[in-house]
């Protein structure tokens, strides 16, 4: 069977995980519809302490528009009843109305020009007073906070929706960007996916509310000093959800509310929590078997071995080249017998005309096209290519059928969804730089056309639907349902709202192998966590050398060896521990240079192996934090504001200033404080130890020396290359036994 967007929601929404709080103020109405002139606004109570708002000019939506939120949410007073487009009250936009759901109130108040009254959202405090969280931004004589425009002759419109904010509001989430920032205040973020850039309009505010801009279109997010603005380039309805916690600083409740709306992460397979070995690239079957033999001989545990791109004969074959991989089933079985490791293979969405699948896919309409020109969306290795259309259910079925025949049935059951960004191949520069063969593509990349719409109207759906293609295929092949524990998984370079509901890791893309890039990944991972993506990882060591740095990526240089060890030891404390990248060396072609634990010199090999071993020792703890994430959306990588904003005023102040303290430190689960070393030639490192409520005098213990420290201070600890600065709360024995809470 295939899963549509609607059926994915239905399959996942089987059980409510949290009963309403005692005395919960249930909504007395299904919602209200406000109409004024050409515009209609529909407001509904949604989940616990939340509202869903949809708005449109002139023509009403069909009710079948693309949505990334569950209706009904996984938890909420709806009791399993979908809201749909229902409402109880209808009125013109020139009167006041209010609706309460739990501790949140929405009210129409304040004239907002020709569009009628503006919406304002309040939290009801325990003493009965109200606190304004945000309202539609409409200062005197300003542009309407709900603004529409038409860029073509059809019914699709562009829109800009504006909401009030304050200069000191802090914004957490928004997907991942390479900007070193945890607090996104002051940022303008384009809603276009490309390599290393996965913008996603889901965020939490330190005021105590969460927000989902539930739109599949391209656009922008702007977080200014007085106005937060969200734009859509092409739409038939504007759709967003806002939820509240009972008080500021309760981010766990916000995550529970947001994940009840957008999806809860499943439990990953136990084997995936170990060490994942990859490089660019293992080029044939013999090399992979020899690699497995080396892991066995050296007695180094490995959980998965990955075959990267260009392992096929042509783009779009979605199968290993038989000239290089003559017996895939035998290879995967041999790897399993030698190491007990699973295997993963890379696939790209692109199809060239020499592929065995091209003519069939063309004939059936399974390839994305363009609104003008020949339909070509990009090029690779001197060939024009077109991407398969992930928004087409039949195209997803074709892709999975090919993967199942060529990989899954032969023992390779995990899939790397590379170049999954949509539009083109997802590079931030035109035409993948194929200047030797092809000079340019003579039309704009947003001109891409899918079964579900244009790149402008549904471009953000593409990576999500690509993850969905693998998810629905794996679930069918393993006879499991959405939301249940995963037997297999995928790895994606991109994602969108609710990607956490899939058995799919998201990684930070093709990063450069320098210290500054390592530092940027910390904030990127924390933003991913705040967006709801618990299944996050990266390329240990960076993906590619920086051409401006002579030693970058070269495994034979002491400078890069130090960077690699620091990067790899940090991955021990990520949701998934993974190495990958193209390496340089002094003896071989760059595509075949080594990237194994023993590749970085005799002095460094024991250090690398010790962290791989520690990862397996921490497996009970890691499994339990994944369980917490599955049950309630409780974040695995926890920025310091999550746990310490209310107990330590410095944390909030530093986050607002984007201090290194809050962009470079985090909790891994509730009990491990991790601070990666992000500079060379370090022998000691300064760490801020947060002040926690109710802690004893010296709650923090340094992992490597067992020395204890009080919270609320910065300490300098020894940090030779063997040691990542790591502190823990409570006895180490409890952590090793998987006891997450002390």
Q: Which two tokens stand for residue 645?
A: 């904003």
Collapsing DSSP to helix, strand or coil, 526 comes out as helix
Find the helix or strand (DSSP H, E) in which 469 lies. helix 461-478
Strands laid side by side in the 227-235 sheet: 146-149, 157-164, 227-235, 219-223, 188-190
Given a contact cutoff of 8 angstroms between Cβ atoms, the answer to whether 76 and 70 are in contact is no
| Residue 418 among the catalytic residues | yes
DSSP state of 194: B
* 163/145 Cα distance (integer angstroms): 7
Burial tier of 63 (Cβ tally within 10 Å: 0-12, 13-18, 19+): exposed
* 495/466 Cα distance (integer angstroms): 9
Q: How many residues does the chain have?
A: 742
Q: Which two tokens stand for residue 170?
A: 């802090």
Given a contact cutoff of 8 angstroms between Cβ atoms, the answer to whether 192 and 423 are in contact is yes
DSSP string, 400-457: HHHHHHHTGGGT--EEEETT-SBSBS--SSGGGG-TTT----SS-GGGEEETTEEHHH
Q: Which of 308, 317, 418, 643 is catalytic?
A: 418
| Residue 252 among the catalytic residues | no
Given a contact cutoff of 8 angstroms between Cβ atoms, the answer to whether 458 and 452 are in contact is yes
Q: Which residue has the tokens 């913008």?
A: 199
* 464/498 Cα distance (integer angstroms): 8
* 601/97 Cα distance (integer angstroms): 70
Q: Which of 49, 239, 308, 510 is catalytic?
A: 510
Collapsing DSSP to helix, strand or coil, 335 comes out as helix
**Residues 6 or more apart in contact with residue 276 via CB below 8 angstroms:** 302, 303, 304, 306, 344, 576, 577, 578, 579
Given a contact cutoff of 8 angstroms between Cβ atoms, the answer to whether 636 and 535 are in contact is no
* 328/158 Cα distance (integer angstroms): 49
* 111/569 Cα distance (integer angstroms): 57
**Residues 6 or more apart in contact with residue 33 via CB below 8 angstroms:** 40, 41, 42, 43, 87, 89, 90, 91
For 381, 387, 432, 442, 648, the CA distances from 438, given in Å and listed in that order, are: 9, 18, 10, 11, 57
Q: Which residue has the tokens 């009628």?
A: 116
Active-site residues, by number, are: 418, 510
């Amino acid at each position: 069977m295939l899963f549509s967007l609607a059926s994915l929601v239905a399959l996942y929404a089987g059980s409510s995980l949290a009963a309403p709080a005692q005395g919960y103020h249930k909504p007395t109405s299904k919602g209200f519809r406000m109409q004024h002139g050409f515009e209609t606004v529909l407001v509904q109570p949604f989940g616990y302490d939340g509202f869903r708002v949809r708005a449109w000019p002139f023509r009403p939506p069909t009710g079948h528009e693309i949505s990334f939120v569950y209706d009904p949410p996984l938890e909420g007073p709806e009791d399993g009843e979908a809201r749909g487009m229902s409402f109880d009250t209808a009125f013109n936009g020139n009167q006041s109305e209010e609706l309460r759901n739990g501790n949140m109130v929405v009210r129409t108040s304040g004239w907002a020009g020709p569009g009628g009254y503006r919406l304002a959202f309040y939290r009801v405090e325990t003493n009965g007073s109200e606190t304004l969280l945000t309202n539609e931004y409409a200062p005197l004589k300003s542009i309407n906070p709900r603004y529409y425009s038409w860029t073509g002759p059809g019914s699709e419109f562009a829109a800009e929706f504006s909401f009030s904010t304050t200069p000191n509001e802090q914004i957490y989430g928004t997907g991942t960007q390479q900007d070193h920032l945890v607090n996104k205040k002051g940022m303008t973020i384009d809603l276009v996916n490309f390599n290393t850039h996965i913008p996603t309009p889901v965020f939490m505010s330190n005021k105590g509310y969460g927000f989902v801009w539930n739109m599949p279109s391209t656009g922008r997010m702007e977080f200014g000093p007085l106005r937060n603005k969200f734009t859509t380039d092409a739409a038939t309805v504007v759709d967003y959800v806002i939820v509240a916690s009972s008080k500021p600083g309760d981010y766990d409740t916000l995550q529970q509310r947001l994940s009840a709306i957008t999806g809860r992460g499943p439990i990953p397979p136990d084997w995936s929590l170990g060490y994942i070995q990859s490089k660019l690239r293992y080029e044939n079957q013999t090399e992979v078997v020899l690699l497995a033999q080396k892991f066995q001989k050296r007695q180094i545990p490995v959980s998965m071995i990955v075959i990267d791109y260009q392992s096929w004969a042509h783009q779009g074959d979605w199968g290993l080249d038989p000239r290089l991989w003559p017996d895939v089933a035998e290879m995967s079985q041999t790897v399993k017998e030698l190491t007990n490791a699973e295997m993963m293979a890379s696939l790209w969405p692109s199809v060239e005309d020499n592929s065995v699948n091209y003519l069939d896919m063309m004939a059936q309409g399974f390839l994305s096209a363009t609104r003008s020109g020949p339909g070509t969306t990009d090029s690779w290795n001197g060939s024009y290519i077109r991407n398969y259309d992930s928004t087409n259910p039949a195209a997803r079925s074709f892709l999975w059928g090919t993967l199942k025949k060529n990989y899954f049935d032969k023992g390779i059951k995990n899939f790397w969804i590379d170049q999954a960004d949509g539009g083109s191949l997802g590079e931030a520069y035109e035409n993948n730089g194929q200047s030797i063969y092809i000079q340019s593509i003579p039309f704009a990349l947003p001109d891409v056309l899918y079964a579900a719409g244009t790149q402008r109207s549904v471009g953000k759906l593409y990576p999500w639907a690509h993850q969905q293609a693998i998810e629905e295929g794996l679930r069918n092949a393993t006879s499991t349902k959405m939301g249940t524990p995963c037997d297999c998984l995928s790895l994606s370079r991109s994602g969108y709202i609710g990607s956490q509901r899939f058995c799919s890791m998201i990684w930070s893309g093709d990063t450069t192998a320098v210290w500054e890039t390592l530092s940027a990944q910390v904030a990127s991972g924390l933003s991913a966590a705040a967006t709801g993506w618990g299944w996050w990882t990266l390329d240990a060591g960076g993906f590619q050398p920086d051409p401006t740095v002579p030693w970058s990526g070269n495994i034979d240089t002491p400078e890069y060896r130090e960077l690699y060890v620091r990067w790899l030891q940090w991955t021990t404390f990520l949701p998934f521990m993974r190495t990958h990248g193209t390496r340089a060396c002094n003896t071989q072609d760059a595509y075949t240079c080594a990237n194994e634990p023993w590749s970085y010199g005799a002095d460094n090999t024991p250090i690398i192996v010790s962290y791989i071993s520690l990862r397996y020792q921490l497996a009970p703890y890691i499994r339990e934090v994944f369980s917490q994430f599955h049950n309630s959306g409780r974040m695995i990588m926890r920025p310091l504001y999550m746990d310490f904003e209310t107990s330590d005023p410095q944390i909030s102040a530093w986050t607002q200033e984007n201090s290194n303290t809050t962009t470079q430190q985090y909790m891994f689960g509730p009990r491990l404080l991790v601070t990666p070393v992000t500079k060379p030639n370090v022998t000691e490192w300064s760490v801020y130890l947060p002040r926690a409520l109710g802690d004893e005098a010296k709650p923090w213990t340094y992992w490597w020396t067992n020395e204890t420290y009080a919270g609320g201070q910065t300490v300098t600890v020894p940090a030779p290359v063997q040691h990542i600065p790591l502190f823990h709360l409570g006895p180490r024995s409890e952590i090793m036994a998987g006891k997450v809470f002390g």
